[in-house]
Chains A and B, each alone.
Chain A
Amino acid sequence: GIQVEQSPPDLILQEGANSTLRCNFSDSVNNLQWFHQNPWGQLINLFYIPSGTKQNGRLSATTVATERYSLLYISSSQTTDSGVYFCAVTGFQKLVFGTGTRLLVSP
């Protein structure tokens, strides 16, 4: 099956810093999603991005499907950005998750 790898596994930032999270996947995919799991355990949809670039406020994402990777950019990080960021890809309807990047933003 499809393998999804995320890096880095852990990230500690000072409030206001920028960061880039990476997601690599092993095979062609039909879509890709980024999620934020907040400290309460909720999985929040950030981006649905099978290809190209999207922006939503301080967050943006880019997927280069031909090279099998996606990047999530967080600018001017805030403490509320803390949590785990997951990349998930769909080969044939099955959404497969990466192991996540755990982000801690300190004040």
Chain B
Amino acid sequence: DAGVIQSPRHEVTEMGQEVTLRCKPISGHDYLFWYRQTMMRGLELLIYFNNNVPIDDSGMPEDRFSAKMPNASFSTLKIQPSEPRDSAVYFCASSLNRGMNTEAFFGQGTRLTVV
């Protein structure tokens, strides 16, 4: 398997614009996670899905952020409107639930810069 695939790798956008980040999880994995990494806050869990259903979105910073998983092989994280403080690296990860034991694998991340 090619692993978790994220696109784009880099995104530079102007404040106020809509940004969409994309993720393709590992085939067969039933959990998908979105994380954000910043110097100040480290790696934070934003939202995760199980079988395409959002389970916990308590980490989503505010209403400007939304995430969807229309099918088992695709998820999006959207920021509308974007602000400079959204600049960060956004990671997607997936895992396969084998009882309570799971191992998560991460994509290469999307480095977002909002100017």
Contact = CB atoms under 8 A, between A and B. Distances in A.
Given A93-B55, A94-B56, A95-B33, A50 B45 contact: no
A96 interface: yes
Interface of B: 31, 33, 42-43, 45, 48, 50, 55-56, 89, 91, 93, 95, 97, 100-106, 108-109, 111
A97 B104 contact: no
Interface in A12-32: 30-31
B103 A96 contact: no
Given A41-B111, A45-B105, A97 B43 contact: yes
Contact of A45 (B102, B103, B111): B103
A30 B91 CA distance: 22
Interface of A is mostly: strand
A9 to B, nearest CB: 11
Contacts of B106: 35, 42-43, 45
A93 B43 contact: no
Contacts of B111: 41
Contact of A43 (B55, B91, B95, B101): B91
